[in-house]
A and B are shown apart, each in its own frame.
Chain A
Amino acid sequence: MSRDPARRKIIRDACSVSITVGAYGVAFGAASVAAGFSVLQSCLLSLLAFTGGSQFAAISVVASGGTAGAAVAAATMLGLRNTLYGVRLAPLFSRAGWRRVAAAQVTIDESTAMALAQEPQGQEAMVAAFWWTGLGVFVGWNACTLLGALAAHALNNPAAFGLDAAVPAAFLALLWPRLANRRAQVTAAGGFSLALLLTPVLPPGLPIVATATVAIAMGWPP
């Protein structure tokens, strides 16, 4: 389509990111159905919430027997980083209107990272990378959620297919690249231990939410 090689590279990168993220989508769809959500509900979560970490968090709190409130609280805390992404990208979409609303919906880890990577190439390249990645991942994520949900719906014992272990493995894969320094590693270990310590004393779901205190304690000192 585009004869401009820089633009072609943006599109190529966006496509490869979208395909990779699709794999998470299959895992989400399958895990969501295994957690007790219907195929329709799983697809609506991917269409409307469209932020993988939060979606996984919500369904796994429900799977562990937690309340809707605890599930939404865990999802919200994982989605807070999208607010920071919006703050970074706001100068690209300063005009009010449906375009900014659509931009907000596809503001996620991948679209933000690809847009910011184009910063030296100027605003136009950033906007192109943002839309190609955001919309590409949107399509891939939703199509694959449906596939995963249908596949899991066809099975009926999640443990027999290892789906129960697929969810923590997905969280581990999301967590691993964030453990770049000592403070991050101690925070992750703290969250891990505190959740297990609180499990016997708090209702399901709340031990996860309570680990926000670890982030506050670890982030407080300079």
Chain B
Amino acid sequence: MTTPTTTWAVVGGTAALSFTLKYLGYRVPQRWFSNPRAQRILHLLPIALLGALVAVGTFVASTSVVLDQRAAGLAAALVAVWRRAPFPVVVLVAAVTSALCYHLTS
């Protein structure tokens, strides 16, 4: 489904825009971002998107909402972050739990 055209477009587009956004910060007048409302929205933007990415990464297959082994992985990750586990532990715990459920149910 994923064609090389798509993946190369993503690599090129993400690379170019990521650098542009970084460099822009050094070139635009400071006052552009001093508006408190703009500051709040820019602060909340990654939070809303990360919330969405957790949801889609766990519960979505193509265009439907599903419940599969990834949900068990996320539940395990949730316990790990709540217990303040370091990043590698969070990811590993999620991966192992999900893989176990995958093999138990298939």
Contacts and interface: CB of A to CB of B under 8 A. Distances in A.
Contact of A44 (B11, B43, B74, B103): B11
A68 B9 contact: yes
A6 interface: no
A192 B54 contact: yes
Contacts of A68: 5-6, 9-10, 13
Contacts, number: 329
Interface in B22-79: 22-26, 28, 30, 32-33, 36-37, 39-60, 62-65, 69-70, 72-74, 76-78
Contacts of A191: 47-52, 55
A86 B77 contact: no
A179 B81 CA distance: 12
Interface string A163-174: 111111111111
A78 B65 CA distance: 24
Contact of A82 (B8, B9, B18, B44): B18
B83 to A, nearest CB: 11
A65 B1 contact: yes
Given A83-B24, A84-B33, A191-B51, A169 B91 contact: yes
A104 B19 contact: yes
Contacts of B81: 172-173, 176
A83 B29 CA distance: 12
A162 B57 contact: no
Interface residues of B, number: 78
Given A81-B45, A211-B51, A169 B90 contact: yes
Contacts of B100: 162
Nearest to A86: B25
Interface string B66-106: 00011011101110110000111011011111111011000
B90 A37 contact: no
Contacts of B72: 165
A219 B37 contact: yes
Contacts of A200: 63-65
Given A82-B25, A87-B33, A196-B65, A215 B48 contact: yes
4 interchain residue pairs of minimum CB distance: A86-B25, A165-B73, A191-B51, A162-B95
Interface of A: 20, 23-24, 27, 35-38, 41, 44-45, 48-51, 53-60, 62, 64-65, 67-68, 71-72, 74-90, 93, 100-101, 103-105, 107, 159-176, 178-179, 183-184, 187-196, 199-200, 202-204, 207-208, 211-212, 214-216, 218-220, 222
